[in-house]
Amino acid sequence: MDLDADLVNRVTWKIPNALALVGSRSGEEWNAMTTSWITQLSMDPVIIGVAVDNTAVTHRLISEGGSFSVNLWDATDTKVFVKFSKPARHEEGTLNGREVREEATGAPIFAEAIAWLDCELRSSTDFGTHTLFAGELVAAGIHDDDARAAAMSDTRMKYGGVPRGGHR
Amino acid sequence: MDLDADLVNRVTWKIPNALALVGSRSGEEWNAMTTSWITQLSMDPVIIGVAVDNTAVTHRLISEGGSFSVNLWDATDTKVFVKFSKPARHEEGTLNGREVREEATGAPIFAEAIAWLDCELRSSTDFGTHTLFAGELVAAGIHDDDARAAAMSDTRMKYGGVPRGGHR
């Protein structure tokens, strides 16, 4: 690509993105990761897509476990996302000390999520640095219908553009 | 799916989404459509994905033309999105009266966009009601680096969930 990398970053960072914890699990290995490339992909069936770095633990766990969850978080409580930008510590029903449980697929659902989506993997497409996991919604819940879900723009974080050291 | 449709709508509507005009073109047929299912999918190459209703004119034009554009709009000027929720009127270098031009691929770029991405189609994946078009970024520009790009939450519009009469 002969596009200027700085321009690509500035333009792609302007795309409004979600910010959520994507849960994954293979057997007794549980994880959750801060993720911003999330979108619905179909209404019937209801398919949700998350694009995940090919080198991430979450990539392996979704591939092995065949499911993922999307945990939407209160926009006023975004410090959680920094903590979950590296592999999470799993102990006694918690990830990084925050309570998780399983619902339909076994992927971790956070007790603190304002809303959650539990998805069964239907397809994986490798686009280069990241893989789009497309999952059918099989269970969902809302804990707080009044809260607004966090977006990237609620933080000083940036994600996207071209690869940067340590930021993929 | 045995999930309650109202619950699915409430949960999926909580996912923070972009709101932008996706431009498409096949020969002399030009269009642009209000779109919210947009995300980056890879950093190298830089791949942008847009999920488009299979029955939309934009679906046919992207398939035929092999390209699309994403035009980000000023968050304080969202009335444009209502107008572009049906096929646009194309005359004399304008769509619905707003100036457009071509850049690298020929897909329409709006003069008023605060930033734009011009993408060459690399793959199409039909997920049921919508198709994910994945395009490599081949040209991009920023007109206003201070403006915040519009998101769905800047409007009273909703998109997603299960199919509804007239809302797909």
Residues A13-61: tens digit of each pLDDT: 999 999 999 999 999 999 999 999 999 999 999 999 999 999 999 999 9
Q: Which of the four pLDDT bands, split at 50, 70 and 90, describes residue A164?
A: confident
B79 versus A166: which is more confidently predicted?
Answer: B79
User: Is there a domain that residue B33 lies in?
Assistant: yes
User: Is there a domain that residue B93 lies in?
Assistant: yes
Query: Would you state the pLDDT for residue B164?
Result: 81
Kindly determine whether residue B15 and residue A3, on different chains, have CB atoms separated by under 8 Å. Answer: no
Would you list the DSSP string of A67-109? EEEEEE-BTT--THHHHTTSPPPEETTEETTEEEEE-SSS-EE
User: Is there a domain that residue A74 lies in?
Assistant: yes
The CATH number of residue B80's host domain is 2.30.110.10
**Per-residue pLDDT at A168 exceeds 60:** no
How many folded domains does chain A comprise? 1
Cα of B14 to nearest chain A Cα, Å: 6
User: Is there a domain that residue A86 lies in?
Assistant: yes
B151 to chain A: which residues are within 8 Å by CB?
A: 16, 151, 153
Query: Would you state the pLDDT for residue A29?
Result: 97
Domain that holds residue A122: 18-154
The backbone region for A6, taken as left when phi is positive above 0, alpha when psi lies in -120 to 50, beta otherwise, is alpha
Q: For the CA atoms of chain B, what is the radius of gyration?
A: 15
User: Is there a domain that residue A166 lies in?
Assistant: no
Residue of A7, A81, A127, A148 to mutate, testing the B interface (most B Cβ within 10 Å of its Cβ): A127
Cα of A130 to nearest chain B Cα, Å: 5
B11 to chain A: which residues are within 8 Å by CB?
A: 115-117, 140-142
For residue A5, the SS3 value is: helix
Kindly determine whether residue A160 and residue B48, on different chains, have CB atoms separated by under 8 Å. Answer: no
**pLDDT 10s digits, B44-73:** 999 999 999 999 999 999 999 999 999 999
What is the C-alpha to C-alpha distance for residues B168 and B162, in angstroms, rounded to an integer? 9
Query: Would you state the pLDDT for residue B76?
Result: 96
Query: Would you state the pLDDT for residue B30?
Result: 98
Kindly determine whether residue A14 and residue B141, on different chains, have CB atoms separated by under 8 Å. Answer: no
**pLDDT 10s digits, B119-163:** 999 999 999 999 999 999 999 999 999 999 999 999 999 999 999
What is the C-alpha to C-alpha distance for residues B107 and B24, in angstroms, rounded to an integer? 5
**Per-residue pLDDT at A143 exceeds 80:** yes
User: Is there a domain that residue A13 lies in?
Assistant: no
User: Is there a domain that residue A164 lies in?
Assistant: no
- Average pLDDT along chain B: 95
**pLDDT 10s digits, B20-51:** 999 999 999 999 999 999 999 999 999 999 99
What residue of A is the nearest CA neighbor of B17?
A17
Q: Which of the four pLDDT bands, split at 50, 70 and 90, describes residue A131?
A: very high
Kindly determine whether residue B15 and residue A18, on different chains, have CB atoms separated by under 8 Å. Answer: yes
User: Is there a domain that residue B32 lies in?
Assistant: yes
Query: Would you state the pLDDT for residue B149?
Result: 97
**Per-residue pLDDT at A119 exceeds 90:** yes
Kindly determine whether residue A117 and residue B49, on different chains, have CB atoms separated by under 8 Å. Answer: no
Strand partners, B26: B29
CA distances from B128 to A45, A65, B34, B53, B54 (A): 6, 23, 20, 9, 8
Kindly determine whether residue B18 and residue A19, on different chains, have CB atoms separated by under 8 Å. Answer: no
